[in-house]
Structure 1
Amino acid sequence: MDEMQQRERFLTAEEAAKTLGVGRATLYAYVSRGLIRTDEAADDPRRRLYSAPDIEALKQRKTTLRRPGEIAAGTLAWGLPVLSSSITLIADGRFFYRGRNAVEWAETATLEETARLLWDCGAHDPFAEAGSAPPGWDDALLEQLAGLPLTERCQALLPLVAAGQAITWQRDSRHLWGGAVALMRALAGAAIAAQPDAQPIHRHLAAAWGLDAAGADIVRRALVLVADHELNASAFAVRVVASTGASLGACLNAGLGALSGPLHGGTMSIVEILFDEVDRVGDAAAVIESRLRRGERVPGFGHHPLYPDGDPRAAALLPLLPQDAARDVLAQMMTETTGKRPNVDFALVSLRRAFRLPPGSALALFAIGRTAGWIAHALEQRQDDKLIRPRARYTGPPASAE
């Protein structure tokens, strides 16, 4: 497409936003949902242009009269943005932590530095404060809970962290950072059934898992890449609880509860089953064909609504892992057969298998890293000082006349 054709069929971001009467963030949300196609500008491949026909069609949809209840119902299911947030932006197949490209940030940053960024700590470093490491748990209790599933174990141990029990309502965020640090370190220990530790979390995990420096660095990157992902199910659950003024510990328990479901963090256990099946059969192509014939989905792959060209988190992690022929063939066959690329669940399970980490370590990495984002959402929602309270559209039997 030459420059003249682009001017006729595509608009700049400023023109598109003005035509729709929305801000840039909402425009990017429309793109991520597949409502507006984009293309590279002929004079600058880094600049995106926006389809004029798509914008006109969307404008017509916006002017169509709809009942408020229908709008709200659509919004909660991959619909329009429902909350304002300055934490993470997902646009044009990339994601940004407070304006910083997250993949580039993960090349050198630790999870602690990422938490400071997401919590908007500025130059202050709450991780360097004395007393920010939580006291350990009773060894007998830790041993007793070690057999519980990861999320339930964390939910049982976090309430014992005193710093996480303080109600957030009417408190300045700066007075909550110390407790947030204690909760992050406590959850890292709970997730691997170990005592909390004050050293950088990726080093704590590397020591527990017997990893060398190279393995520890990949763990560091993984933790940073999963630290936040905008308003997903667990982040929304955290914000609902935070809107009541509850403690940070209660907010994290809400996030953990949402994470435990098979449509969220539980997906990783299904990816593990896929890898086991490929190992048992010894033929990735046969496994994929068999699943497709049965009408089953292949977990760990898919067109994420926010990433039409593939999950950048997986793309950043997978090339760093040791060679694994079975993994590479599986990814290649899925791409060639279905056009679907690996997502972050596939990447985390691949990391676990590559370094022979204990079962459940993929979910542990996700939960530990995401704690930074959950806390960021809790702190931000607390500043809004409004209770999240949507209305239900009643579909039950008619009300009795009596």
Structure 2
Amino acid sequence: MVWMTAAEALHVLNVRPQTLYANVSRGKIRAKSDADDPRRSLYHRDDILRMARRSNGRRKIETVSAQAMQWGDPVLPSALSTAADGRLLYRGLDAVTLSATATLEDIADLLWQADRGQVLAATAAAASIATASASAAITRPASALGAGLLALALRSATDAPSLGRPAAELRAEAAGVLATLTAAMTAVPTPADNSGGAAPTDGKRANTGARQAITSAPSTATISRRLALAWQRPAAEDLLRRALVLMADHELNASTFATRVAVSTGASLAAGVLAGFTTLTGPLHGGASAEFAQLVASARQHGAGPAVQAWLSSGRPLPGFGHKLYAEGDPRARALLDLLPKLQPHTNLAAEAEAQAGELPNIDFALTLLAAAHELPDDAPFILFALGRCVGWLAHALEQVQANRLIRPRARYVGPSAGT
């Protein structure tokens, strides 16, 4: 179980109860009411163990630095976004509130400090060129992931370094990078596109004509509109828009940090986004939706309870559930789940995850449920994650260029001593 009683937590931490309660109030330790006795509280095991490693609060500088790389104190100053008091804020504005009406391009205007409507105009101008380039390629990767990697790699090989360039010029280039990734990931045909128009055997509508739909989209079409056209799901456009907004940025996560490290060397914006994009593919980050799909498949075969129990027994993190920044649940997930139908086995998985692990659905769960509810392509959750987060990567890249500092941490050597 991931929850501990107060007695267990105090034994591990070797501190007074007041210290435990103070860390809870400061958000350093997650707590919730005990379902068996509402008068008692339970404390999250991971947070307790992390605090215990601090040796009762007295930490050496190398330990502080190491923990800063593992869900510790922020390692870089940023004015872009933060998770605070159970909310996600973009430049001080609630992301969930923004998602009710804003487009991803609006959020780019906000995070990139561009004039209102500037990013939509710039991406629209670059979209036709990027789409033509993606469609004209002689050999196209068979997946949106492969297409995105290739498109960013090609730009990285030719785009100018970011160092010392005017902010307005870099913002225009950022819009081009966003358009390039969008065109690449939405222009990839599904297997049915290569089968003479045969209907997909799994009952899902294929991306037939996706490239033509994207090419014929109005020049002012937003990214959410382009996705709805590519996936032939116009009714899902509003939910796609909300999902993209909610994915736009999320503090200094692993992919964002990779982007900032790359750009801190003076690398191009495309190279920075490529660094973030490759990092996103890991199962502990943007690849979690693919892991969750495996959990769903297991639940369909064996039942939700046994599926969750088997996954937890394997020692792997439970995909689709829990987030260290949100003790009361991921607000991004709630914003989407409130608008989605209850489907099986997702509903039963959510109940079992809370019962067995004390974890609530996170954004990976919500994106996967969105894809299931609207019969989107299997890789739709990853595409939404990547295209939404691309705005954040570019915002951090622009911020890092302004900082004009190389990110170069030191290693704490733990290998064998030098020979005498």
After superposition, give the CA deviation of every residue in 1:327-370 in whole Å (9 maximum; x if it has no partner).
22221232234321101111111111111111211101100000
Task: Kindly indicate whether residue 109 of structure 2 is the aligned counterpart of residue 88 of structure 1.
Answer: no
> Given the alignment of the two structures, is residue 393 of structure 1 paired with residue 412 of structure 2, yes or no?
yes
Task: Letter of the 1:146 partner, please give it.
Answer: P
Cα separation, 2, equivalents of 1:151 and 1:34:
36
Structure 2 match to 1:217: 238
Q: Output the amino acid matched with 1:96.
A: L
1:179 paired to 2:173? yes
What's the counterpart of residue 321 of structure 1?
340
Count of aligned pairs: 351
Match runs of 1:102-141 below 5 Å:
102-123=95-116, 125-129=118-122, 131-133=125-127, 134-135=129-130, 136-137=132-133, 139=135, 141=137
Report the counterpart of residue 19 of structure 1 in structure 2: none
- Asked if 1:254 is matched to 2:247, the reply is no
Alpha-carbon offset, residue 201 of structure 1: 0.3
- Unmatched segments (≥5 aa) in structure 2: 1-21, 33-50, 189-210
Which of 185, 202, 215 pairs up with 2:224? Answer: 202
Q: What does residue 4 of structure 1 align with?
A: none
Deviations 1:182-223 (A, max 9, x none): 21122112223345765200000000111123x100000000
1:348/1:186 CA distance change after superposition, 3 Å: same
Q: Which of 369, 377, 389 is residue 396 of structure 2 equivalent to?
A: 377
Q: Secondary structure at the match of 2:163?
A: coil
Q: 2:257 aligns with which of 211, 217, 236?
A: 236
Tell me which amino acid in the other structure corresponds to 1:243.
Answer: S
Secondary structure in structure 1 of the residue aligned to 2:239: helix
8 A contact 2:87–2:94 mirrored in 1 = yes
Report the alpha carbon displacement of residue 255 of structure 1 after superposing the two structures with TM. 0.2
Distance in 2, matches of 1:334 and 1:63, equals 32
Contact 1:349 1:362 in 2 (8 A): yes
Deviation at 1:263, TM superposition (A): 1.4
Q: Does 1:78 align with 2:74?
A: no
Between stretches 316-325 and 123-132, larger displacement belongs to 123-132
Q: 1:216 to 1:164 in 2, by over 3 A?
A: farther
From 351, 366, 369, the counterpart of 1:350: 369
Partner of 1:34: 29
CA gap 1:124/1:383 in 2 versus in 1, 3 angstroms: farther
Q: Specify the alignment match of 2:195 in structure 1.
A: none
**Contact 1:314/1:343 (<8 A) preserved:** yes
Following TM superposition, by how much is the alpha carbon of 1:308 offset from its aligned partner in structure 2, in angstroms?
Answer: 0.5
Taking the TM superposition and a 5 Å limit, the aligned residue runs for 1:294-309 are: 297-302=317-322, 304-309=323-328
Q: TM-score, normalised by structure 2?
A: 0.76
Where in structure 2 are the equivalents of 1:41-80 lying within 5 Å? 64=58, 66-80=59-73
Matched letter for residue 106 of structure 2: E
What CA distance in whole angstroms lies between the structure 2 residues aligned with 1:97 and 1:208?
28
For residues 203-246 of structure 1, what are the alpha-carbon distances to aligned partners after superposition, in whole Å with 9 as ceiling and x for unaligned? 00000111123x10000000000100000000000000111111
Structure 2 CA distance, aligned partners of 1:109 and 1:86? 20
CA distance 1:156–1:293, change in 2 (3 Å)? closer
Matched letter for residue 75 of structure 2 = V
2:23–2:29 CA contact under 8 A, matched in 1: no
CA distance in 1, matches of 2:91, 2:279: 24
Tell me, yes or no, if the aligned pair for 1:31 and 1:91 is still in contact at 8 Å: no
CA offsets per residue over residues 243-276 of structure 1, 9 Å max, x none? 1111110001000111111211121111011111
Structure 1 position 78, deviation (Å): 1.2
Deviation at 1:63, TM superposition (A): 8.5
SS at match of 1:275: helix
Alpha-carbon distance in 2 for matches of 1:174, 1:30: 42
Query: Aligned partners of 1:224, 1:330: CA distance in 2, in Å?
Result: 26
Q: Is the 8 A contact 2:371 2:380 kept in 1?
A: yes
Matched to 1:90, the amino acid is A
Task: Specify which of 292, 307, 312 is matched with residue 287 of structure 1.
Answer: 307
**Residue 361 of structure 2 aligns to which amino acid in structure 1?**
P
TM-score (norm 1): 0.79
Give the 3-state SS of the residue equivalent to 2:83 in structure 1: strand
Q: Mean Cα displacement is larger for which, 74-83 or 154-163?
A: 154-163
Where does the alignment leave 5 or more consecutive residues of structure 1 unmatched?
1-26, 39-56
- RMSD of aligned C-alpha atoms? 3.1
1:210–1:82 Cα change, 3 Å: same
Name the CA shift for 1:62/1:374 in 2 (closer, same or farther; >3 Å). farther
Superposed displacement of residue 67, structure 1? 3.7
